[in-house]
Amino acid sequence: MADRAPAADAPRLSRAERIETMAREIARLADRRTGSPGEVAALRRLDPEHPDAAAFWRLLVKVDGPAMENPRAVTAWAMIAGGMARMAPNHHDGAVWPGRALAEVGVSEARLEQALRARGPHHTWRATRRLCDMLAHHAQPVDWRGLGRLLLAEAFDNDDEAERQRHHIARAYYTALHAE
């Protein structure tokens, strides 16, 4: 079968739609009856700076094929896929802001502060990975559109967008924390 490029006139999905597509694909892979536990495990072990899992590349083609040409985009999508896989099958709920979810599972202010201070893809991924593991422990899904935007902004050195996403996370965390 020959490789085919997407049609030139095919509409490009928005960033949020691509993140939602990835969430659906991870859910499909994580399904206990029909999924692929080996692929989810490979995504959980993924090193975003050196993504080598075939499962990741198959996923990226479905979500954002043109990103394969850009190393920064590959790193960002690998962080998103790895984080979602670490939390699967309870990884995404579009109604649960990440900050609120972190407050609800008892993430400490110090841990949140450490994550919000992380800069650059490597450090942001390490902090995000720890938070994903905490959320997974409590089977707490989050709206991955927010976390995804933060990881994409970090990978592309878009400091303004990264700060906006950090502020959204902090605002939702402290709002939830003080509502209790």
Average pLDDT value for residue range 34-55: 95
Check pLDDT > 60 for residue 7. no
pLDDT tens-digit readout, 115-171: 999 998 889 999 999 999 999 999 999 999 999 999 999 999 999 999 999 999 999
- The per-residue pLDDT for 180 is 63
Output the DSSP codes for the chain: ----PPPTTSPPPPHHHHHHHHHHHHHHHH-TTTS-HHHHHHHHT--TTS---HHHHHHHHHHHGGGGG-HHHHHHHHHHHHHHHHHTTS-B-TTS-HHHHHHHTT--HHHHHHHHH--HHHHHHHHHHHHHHHHHHTT--B-HHHHHHHHHHHHTT-HHHHHHHHHHHHHHHHHHHHH-
pLDDT at 38: 95
CATH number of 15-179: 1.10.520.40
User: Per residue in 107-134, is it b (16+ CB within 10 Å) or e — as a string?
Assistant: beeeebeebbebeebeebbebbbbbbeb
Instruction: Read off the pLDDT of residues 56-98 as tens digits, 9 standing for 90 and up.
Output: 999 999 999 888 999 999 999 999 999 999 999 999 999 999 9
pTM of this structure = 0.91
Instruction: Check residue 179 and give its pLDDT.
Output: 86
pLDDT category of residue 176 using cuts at 50, 70 and 90: very high
With bands split at pLDDT 50, 70 and 90, how would you rate the model's confidence at 12? confident
Whole-number pLDDT of residue 100: 97
pLDDT category of residue 11 using cuts at 50, 70 and 90 = low
Res 85: pLDDT: 98
Domain boundaries, the chain: 15-179
pLDDT score, position 13? 79
